[in-house]
């Protein structure tokens, strides 16, 4: 995926808002939802839900105690939120158009080393 296409995906996700559900709460982005799943306290999840920026959601979640099983649960949570995100019709079409090509998560400045692939 090119950086322009990646930006389009982010824009589509933002336009659809609150499409990802974790622990019964709707979130504005997959990043918000993923970060909320990292903490188990419902009040902290609701605070993440109210944050307008995904980077702020990550910063806040990373300043909190993570749930005890996070090191293994995060893979299931990531699969769940990405599956939910891919149900947005415009994003679904983008994914289907990739055919058999490999899809990598681009590091969009979130400082994540687990899921990223650096852009050339």
What per-residue confidence (pLDDT) applies to 98? 82
Q: Provide the β-strand partners of residue 106.
A: 117
Which pLDDT score, from 0 to 100, does residue 88 have? 82
User: In terms of DSSP bridges, do strands 116-117 and 25-27 run parallel, antiparallel, or are they unpaired?
Assistant: unpaired
| 28 or 120: which leads in pLDDT | 28
Q: CA 85, CA 108: separation in Å to the nearest integer?
A: 17
Model confidence at 120: pLDDT above 70: no
pLDDT tens digit sequence for 54-95: 889 999 999 999 999 999 999 999 999 988 988 888 888 888
Can you give the pLDDT at residue 66? 95
Domains and CATH numbers, the chain: 3-100 (1.10.357.40)
Task: State the pTM of this model.
Answer: 0.77
- The answer to whether 42 and 23 are in contact (CB under 8 A) is yes
Q: Where does residue 80 fall: left (phi above 0), alpha (psi -120 to 50 degrees), or beta otherwise?
A: alpha
The token pair at 27 is 């979130």
């Amino acid at each position: 995926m090119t950086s322009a296409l990646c930006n389009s995906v982010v824009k589509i996700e933002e336009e659809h808002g609150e499409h990802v559900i974790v622990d019964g709460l709707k979130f504005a982005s997959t990043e918000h939802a993923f970060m909320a799943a990292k903490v188990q306290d419902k009040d902290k999840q609701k605070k993440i839900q109210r944050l307008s920026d995904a980077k702020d959601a990550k910063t806040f979640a990373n300043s909190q105690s993570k749930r005890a099983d996070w090191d293994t649960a995060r893979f299931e949570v990531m699969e769940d939120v990405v599956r939910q995100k891919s149900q947005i019709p415009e994003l679904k079409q983008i994914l289907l158009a990739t055919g058999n090509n490999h899809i990598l998560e681009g590091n969009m400045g979130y400082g994540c080393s687990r899921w990223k692939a650096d852009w050339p």
